[in-house]
């Protein structure tokens, strides 16, 4: 399994997010600075609300930009089953019912990816509850997933 497939998906999604957030920030900035946003009375807060929105959108665009840079410089090494898990690892976690796969990345956790066979792979970060548990573990170790009915699951593969 080549991880460049995942990296391409991540960068595509992040670049799309950056474009959306940048456009939203520009639109909110234009709204905040337009003549129509001048307060008509001391209770009119439309301009101030638009300025807060522009600031938030700009912050989100900045976070997307930071994530893009992080993935452009991130190394996704190949792992052996005996290697400890760290950023760049593709991890399979199994219970008696199913196997779930996760890619451990530096930022932008929550993105949904697919492998070459269109199987789902979830992007997580070391800051997430599962990511914190996985760092340093190896194949055969157990992790606890509180949202699952069968909360104790086993790491079955690392690539």
**Listed residues 72, 104, 120: the one ending a domain:** 72
* 8 A C-beta contact, residue 51 and residue 34: no
78-95 pLDDT per residue, tens: 888 788 999 999 999 887
36 and 62, same domain (yes or no): yes
Asked if residue 112 belongs to a domain, the reply is yes
Asked if residue 121 belongs to a domain, the reply is yes
Percent share of the chain, pLDDT over 70: 93
Could you give the CA distance from residue 106 to residue 120 in angstroms, rounded to a whole number? 19
* 8 A C-beta contact, residue 18 and residue 60: no
In sequence order, what DSSP letters do the residues of 72-84 get, joined into one string?
HS-------TTSP
Q: Is the pLDDT of residue 129 over 70?
A: yes
63 and 103, same domain (yes or no): no
What value does the mean pLDDT take over residues 122-126? 94
Q: Is the pLDDT of residue 147 over 70?
A: no
The range of the structural domain enclosing residue 12 comes to 4-72
Q: Is the pLDDT of residue 97 over 80?
A: no
Q: Is the pLDDT of residue 16 over 60?
A: yes
* Tokens representing residue 12 in the block: 């595509």
67 and 97, same domain (yes or no): no
What 3-state class would DSSP assign to 96? coil
100 and 59, same domain (yes or no): no
């Amino acid at each position: 399994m080549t991880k460049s497939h995942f990296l391409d998906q991540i960068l595509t999604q992040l670049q799309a997010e950056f474009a959306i957030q940048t456009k939203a920030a520009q639109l909110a900035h234009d709204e905040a600075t337009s003549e129509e946003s001048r307060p008509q009375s001391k209770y009119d807060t439309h301009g101030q609300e638009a300025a807060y929105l522009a600031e938030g959108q700009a912050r989100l665009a900045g976070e997307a930009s930071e994530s893009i840079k992080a993935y452009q410089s991130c190394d996704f090494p190949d792992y052996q089953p005996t290697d400890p898990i760290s950023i760049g690892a593709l991890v399979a976690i199994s219970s008696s019912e199913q196997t779930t796969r996760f890619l451990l990345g530096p930022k932008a956790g929550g993105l949904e990816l697919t492998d070459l066979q269109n199987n789902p792979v979830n992007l997580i970060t070391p800051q997430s509850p599962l990511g914190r548990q996985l760092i340093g573990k190896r194949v055969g170790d157990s992790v606890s997933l509180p949202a699952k009915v069968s909360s104790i699951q086993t790491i079955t593969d690392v690539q």
